[in-house]
Amino acid sequence: MSKLRVQSFAVSIDGFGAGPNQGLQNPLGVRGPELMEWFFHTRLWKKMQGQDGGETGIDCQIAEQGFAGIGAWILGRNMFGPIRGPWPDEEWKGWWGDEPPYHTPVFVLTHHPRPPLRMAGGTEFRFVTEGIHAALAQATAAAGGLDVRLGGGVATVRQYLRAALIDELHLAIRPVLLGTGEDLFDDLDMRALGYACEKFVPGERAMHVFLRKSG
Ligand SMILES: NC(=O)c1ccc[n+]([C@@H]2O[C@H](COP(=O)([O-])OP(=O)(O)OC[C@H]3O[C@@H](n4cnc5c(N)ncnc54)[C@H](OP(=O)(O)O)[C@@H]3O)[C@@H](O)[C@H]2O)c1
């Protein structure tokens, strides 16, 4: 059965999944790149940038596993871009250039409708205004029996956690303190929601923690 998986989601020691004040100049929020430092050294990241080289250790292997068996993605609108409110036009096509790294249908949660956007390499952004259950149903149907990956950002992951809809959650816990930003677990009782830590694997620049929902 198709699972809903969060993979490679970076958090600081103090539980932030993004820095504050996301915008065009700070796609990950202020100081957000400190969260992704574990990923920037990997062969996978370099390949995504069209570069050779990169490290092939634990961090890279776990990041690569996160792309295996995925038939569709779900993103929040802020992960798709920095524009807030009604779309002024259809110019913004995501942070990732002409060929985004998804290569599947990608369901973007938003309150502001927009026609689907087909990109090179098989990615199609489809904008969903009917909420998280509708996005999951559409993504599951599109995934054709494969898993659905929930990419983020923080507000979107929190909604799916609160509804206990995420089957597996891989966190890359970075040894940094952000102090402020988007708090992943604020006011969420993960135990009561049925989550438990299944395993943890020390990587080169992050501690990889795998949570699974029981039942
Ligand atoms: N730590 C990591 O590994 C990681 C991974 C991915 C992203 N991020 C970071 O996370 C940050 C973005 O996270 P975020 O918490 O600001 O926002 P987000 O979850 O990406 O998007 C939130 C927005 O999506 C729309 N949305 C969400 N749920 C909806 C619903 N149920 N119905 C309709 N629309 C809905 C709303 O936009 P509208 O109302 O404006 O339409 C909402 O403001 C970025 O800085 C990004 O880089 C971090």
Region 8-13: mean pLDDT is: 98
Q: Which residues line ligand 1 (CB under 6 A)?
A: 9-10, 17-18, 22, 27-29, 32, 35, 76-79, 84, 109-112, 131-132, 151-156, 159, 182
HSE-CB for 82 with a 13 A CA cutoff: 12
The ligand 1 atom at the shortest distance from the C-alpha of residue 22 is 45
Distance 64 CA to ligand 1 centre (A): 23
* Contact by Cβ (8 Å): 4, 166: yes
Report how far ligand 1's centroid is from the alpha carbon of 77 (Å): 5
Substitution site in 13, 78, 92 for ligand 1 pocket (most atoms within 8 Å of beta carbon): 78
Whole-angstrom CA distances from 126 to 66, 91, 97, 123, 169 are 22, 15, 17, 10, 23
Give the ligand 1 atom nearest the CA of 156: 19
Give the Å distance between the CA of 76 and the centre of ligand 1: 4
Residue from 133, 168, 132, 122 nearest 149 by CA: 168
> What percent of the chain clears pLDDT 90, i.e. is strictly above it?
99
Using CA atoms, how far apart are residues 65 and 209, in angstroms rounded to an integer? 14
Q: Which residues pair with 76 in a beta bridge?
A: 109
Pocket residue to mutate for ligand 1, from 111, 158, 171, 186, most atoms within 8 A of Cβ: 111
Checking 176-179 for CB contacts under 8 A at 24+ apart, the result is 176/12, 176/13, 176/34, 176/35, 176/37, 177/12, 177/13, 177/14, 178/12, 178/14, 178/16, 178/19, 178/31, 178/32, 178/34, 178/35, 179/14, 179/16
User: At residue 59, does pLDDT exceed 90?
Assistant: yes
Q: Are strands 4-12 and 168-174 parallel, antiparallel or unpaired?
A: parallel
pTM (predicted TM-score):
0.97
pLDDT digits (tens, 9 = 90+) for 86-137: 999 999 999 999 999 999 999 999 999 999 999 999 999 999 999 999 999 9
pLDDT exceeds 80 at position 54:
yes
Mean pLDDT of the chain: 97
Cα 25 to middle of ligand 1, angstroms: 17
The token pair at 171 is: 């966190």
Residue nearest to atom 31 of ligand 1 (CA): 131
pLDDT of residue 117: 98
pLDDT at 215 over 90: no
pLDDT in tens, 156-178: 999 999 999 999 999 999 999 99
Of all protein residues, whose CA lies closest to atom 44 belonging to ligand 1?
Answer: 28
Pick the closest to residue 57 from 47, 42, 37, 77 (CA basis). Answer: 42
